[in-house]
Structures are given as structure tokens and as C-alpha cells.
Amino acid sequence: NAGVTQTPKFQVLKTGQSMTLQCAQDMNHEYMSWYRQDPGMGLRLIHYSVGAGITDQGEVPNGYNVSRSTTEDFPLRLLSAAPSQTSVYFCASSYSGQGGETQYFGPGTRLLVL
Amino acid sequence: AQSVAQPEDQVNVAEGNPLTVKCTYSVSGNPYLFWYVQYPNRGLQFLLKYITGDNLVKGSYGFEAEFNKSQTSFHLKKPSALVSDSALYFCAVRDEGTSGTYKYIFGTGTRLKVLA
């Protein structure tokens, strides 16, 4: 089991460029989510998905798009990067259920927007 | 909407002393509460969770947390701190949305520093 994998590990973008952060999991988890981590702000939820074909917005969705065409993959797209999107991005997955399912986190993608 | 608050940015404790990392919550209904730990340049790792039942929850690496409904708190504790416990700790709550959806909301994190 590879768990939750994220690529790339580090990326530098120029303002206005677009890119996709990849996230994949091999645990057959229905629930997947994207967070950004900034100093003093903790983890903030960007988008989440309760299953293939279903996505919803979190706390800070502006500037980001997601899609969920398969159970395994949940890519995060930056359409036009801005310096405010400089952050560390974490993807997480868990089973979907009625109670408190444990989330498994990927190692993160560090993004620098110049 | 549900939320959690971690009132301390940093907690310092001497090795061998007991440690407490605080978390308070605001929820409607029964809360699902979690603690995660993040070591430098790593993703978050699950420590423990409260779903229902016993108010004292035991987790990984000797950590435990006490759920207190009257004080709306879910503090993380360990009887004897280790230098290797130094890390960033996050409290989280499951926020139930409409139409069966839900999301997880995290606190701002508390940096624990255990001094040798």
C-alpha cells in the first residue's frame, strides 16, 4: 500500500501560470480532501469529495478547481496562480461513513508563486 | 457550523513532565473530535479520536485525550513527555453539512516543544 501520494513535492510558478497538483490513494477511500497549510492559519479546507463525481467547496475554494472522475484520484487545479496561493498543500483520504473516520494524509506539495 | 479552537500557539514542557495541549470545540449535536500530529516536513498523522462512549480516549505513542462536554473541551495529554514528542499538534472536528455531506475542520495548531 502506497497510501496517499502527492506530486510534485515542490513547484515554483510565476503569477498567472496554471498547474495541477496530483493526489492519488490506493486504499479505496470514498472521501478525499485538499487542505492548505499556512503559518498561523493551521489547515484550511479547500475542496472535498465524498465519492467519484461528487465535489464540494471548503473554507477557501477561490482560485482552485477540483474534479473526481475516479475513486483513486483527486487533482487540484490552479487556473491562474497568485502569490497568495504560496503554501503547502496536503491531500487526505478516508472511508466515508456515519462516524469519525481517520484521515490519511499525503506528504504535501510545497508551492511557491512568484 | 462546527469549529475548534487551540488557544496556545506553543507549549513548552520539560522532558519527563506531564503535557497538555488544549482544544475547545463548538458543535451542534454530538461531536466527532480528532487529534493529529505533524512532524517537520511531513504530512499529518492520526493520534486519536472521540466518537462516543468513554470520555478518556487512548491513542498512539502514549497520548490520551479527555472529552469534557460541560466545558466543550478535548485536551490532549501525556503523563511523561519525550523530546521526540516535539511536533505540531492539530485538533479537528467533523462538521455535518446538509444532504448527508460532511467535512473536517482543523484548528490552527499548537507547537509542542519538549526540553531535555
Taking an 8 Å cut-off on Cβ atoms, the answer to whether A42 and B51 are in contact is: no
How do residues B23-64 score in pLDDT, each as one tens digit? 999 988 788 999 999 998 888 999 999 988 889 999 999 999
Chain A residues with CB under 8 Å of B106 CB are 35, 42-45
Which of these, A43, A32, A39, lies nearest to A67 by C-alpha position? A32
Cell of B30: 454530538
CB nearest A42 (choices: B94, B101, B107): B107
Say which of A43, A59, A106 has its CB closest to residue B90.
A43
Question: What pLDDT, in 10s, does the model give residues A9-34?
Answer: 999 999 999 999 999 999 999 999 99
Task: Give the β-pairing of A19-25 and A76-78.
Answer: antiparallel
Least CA distance to A6: which residue of chain B? B43
Share of chain B above pLDDT 90, in %: 77
Q: CA of B106, closest CA in chain A: separation in Å? A: 6
pLDDT score, position A90: 97
Probe site for chain B from A101, A109, A110 (most B CB atoms < 10 A): A101
Interface A:B, Cβ pairs < 8 A = 64
Q: How far is CA B33 from CA A19, A34, B104, in A?
A: 34, 19, 9
Among B40, B58, B41, residue whose Cα is nearest residue B49 = B58
Q: Are A108 and B90 inside 8 Å of each other by CB?
A: no
